[in-house]
Amino acid sequence: MAAAKFSRRWLMAAAGLLACTAHAAYPDKPIKIIVPSVAGSSPDVLVRLVGNALSLQLGKPVVIENKGGAGGNIGMQALASSAPDGYTLGYGNNATLTTNEFLFSKLPYDPRSLLPVGGIATTSSFLLVHPEVPVNSVEELVTYIRSSDAAMHYGSGGIGTTSHLGAELFKTKMGLRSAVHVPYKGSPQALNDLVGGSLQFYFENIVTAAPQLQASKLRALAVTSAKRSPQYPHIPTMQEAGVQGFVMNAWGGLLVPPGTPRDVVERLNTALNQVLQSPDIKAQLEKMAYIPLAGMPEDFKALADAERAHWGAVVKASGARVE
């Protein structure tokens, strides 16, 4: 009996040692990052930048796999069903981790079950108007919309997108019920119509809007971040412009499937933070108007939880649904 107990203990100890050895050798093969959007999209460009640097930190190739569609749900479902061995990561953002569960009747994945590795970066948007709209501030825009006999139209990249929900929050806070939403199949079409004069105002991220601003084809009234943009310090925040409590950022980070060992998560988090703190990556992110989100897995989870509560309420109030 004693010999049997000793054998079992020895086997358990040996198994634990093998597991530790396996994790200590991690990674020993290429790593895949699932991006739930198409190649060339803003998330794809961001993750490829970080992924290339991450491969140098980890000493193994990092391959990007694009799985777009269904508002990011297809890619997130693929991540959630992957083996929890640290060799499949995914990019999650303010849509797939927060608002999608309120927009879709049923998600094919549980955003709360995915384990955070860490945040990558955050950016914000501009409240934009066509130059022929006779306003130079948010206050003037609100007055203009309220006093206009004609309908004021605002666009979005689609129902439930950041541009849509930002406008809904703006309408709610300022009592602009008469403004009419025009959803598009992607932000480029909406931006083109704003430039063309078919729309009166629109929320668009800084990077995408920058060329139009520099060409004086659009006017930015405010930025949606809590602080002014380092690249555009002359543009006030929405809160400075009189819209109290209005903060809207687009953010994202890396996750792994449920059940991934903690030591693997910590190894990935350390490597990710080293990437985000490197001068070269910080400089490239700044050019793209991103702010690095280096931190612990718990920091990224706290961000997602807080944003889910806030934007979930906005979605419910707007009545927006994606079927």
pLDDT (tens digit, 9 = 90+) per residue, 180-189?
A: 999 998 888 9
Q: How far apart are CA 127 and CA 163, in angstroms?
A: 9
Q: Which long-range contacts (CB under 8 A, 24 or more apart) does 197-201 make?
A: 197/130, 197/132, 198/153, 199/130, 199/153, 199/154, 199/155, 200/129, 200/130, 200/133, 200/145, 200/152, 200/153, 200/154, 201/127, 201/128, 201/129, 201/133, 201/141, 201/152, 201/154, 201/167
Residue 23 pLDDT: 54
pLDDT of 2 strictly over 50 = no
Tokens of 200: 């009166």
For residues 33 and 120, the answer to whether their CB atoms sit within 8 Å is no
Strands 115-129 and 201-205: antiparallel
User: For 159-172, how does the pLDDT look when each residue is reduced to its tens digit (9 = 90+)?
Assistant: 899 999 999 999 99
User: For 173-224, how does the pLDDT look when each residue is reduced to its tens digit (9 = 90+)?
Assistant: 999 988 999 999 888 899 999 999 999 999 999 988 999 999 999 999 999 9
Which residue reads 């309220």 in tokens? 146
Residue 185 pLDDT: 84
Q: How many CA atoms lie within 13 A of 60 on its CB side?
A: 15
Q: How far, rounded to the nearest angstrom, does the alpha carbon of residue 171 sit from its chain's CA centroid?
A: 22
Chain-wide mean pLDDT for the chain? Answer: 92
**The model's pTM:** 0.87
Residue 177 pLDDT: 86
pLDDT of 14 strictly over 60 = no
Q: Do domains 30-122+251-318 and 124-223 have the same CATH topology?
A: yes
CA pseudo-torsion sign 35, 41, 42, 44:
positive
Q: Three-state DSSP class for 105?
A: coil
Q: Domain 124-223 adopts which CATH fold?
A: D-Maltodextrin-Binding Protein; domain 2 (3.40.190)
Q: How far apart are CA 299 and CA 281, in angstroms?
A: 20
Q: How far apart are CA 24 and CA 271, in angstroms?
A: 14
Tokens of 265: 């998560």
Burial of 278 from C-beta contacts in 10 A (0-12 / 13-18 / 19+): middle
Domain boundaries, the chain: 30-122+251-318, 124-223
CA pseudo-torsion sign 237, 239, 242, 245:
positive
Residues in the chain: 323
Q: How far apart are CA 250 and CA 147, in angstroms?
A: 32
DSSP state of 97: I
One DSSP character per residue, 262-320 reads HHHHHHHHHHHHHHHTSHHHHHHHHHTT-EE----HHHHHHHHHHHHHHHHHHHHHHT-
CATH of domain 30-122+251-318: 3.40.190.150
**What is the rounded average pLDDT of the residues 113-123?**
98
Any bridge partners for residue 90, and if so which? Answer: 34, 255
